[in-house]
Amino acid sequence: MAVPKRRVSHARKKRRQSHQALAKPALSIDKATKSVHRPHHIDLRTGMYNGRQVLFKDDAAGEAPKPE
């Protein structure tokens, strides 16, 4: 079994752990609807991306989806 020859100093341990910190996710606020979403992702609440309606197109046109 491997045994360390010397004790790891506090500074060396903290320098190694500095890359393990958790980062807060970046958030964007839509100017029109004021909803919060991740940048460069579809806003799941409104279905908009880059000023275009990407999701929920049937609801935006006023048409209900037809059952088959």
pLDDT, position 49: 87
| pTM for this prediction | 0.50
pLDDT, position 64: 54
Written as tens digits, the pLDDT of the chain (68 aa) is 899 999 999 999 999 999 999 999 899 888 888 889 999 998 888 888 888 888 888 765 555 555 66
Q: Give the count of alpha carbons within 13 A of 45, CB side only.
A: 9
User: What residues does each domain of the chain span?
Assistant: 26-68
> CA-CA distance, 27 to 48, in Å (whole number)?
15
